[in-house]
A = this chain, B = another copy of it.
């Protein structure tokens, strides 16, 4: 079975990577990019019967730095 985890920086946390992308887009002439935030998608191939609770524990333990990042789990996606 599959699960997808979306990890983004929490609002208010500075995103230097996103800012660098925005500046580069501007340099390339894409003035319409006003703001950019970058996060992670983690696609998990899981043993059958793995519960969302277990995936939550994976996020808390490793996949997300919960001090500055928030995460969203899609089971079976």
Contact = CB atoms under 8 A, between A and B. Distances in A.
A25 to B, nearest CB: 6
B32 A50 contact: yes
A75 interface: no
Interface string A26-49: 001011111111111111111101
A34 B21 contact: no
Contacts of A67: none
Contact of A43 (B39, B46, B50, B57): B39
A40 B42 contact: no
A34 B58 CA distance: 13
3 nearest A-B residue pairs (beta carbon): A35-B45, A32-B47, A32-B50
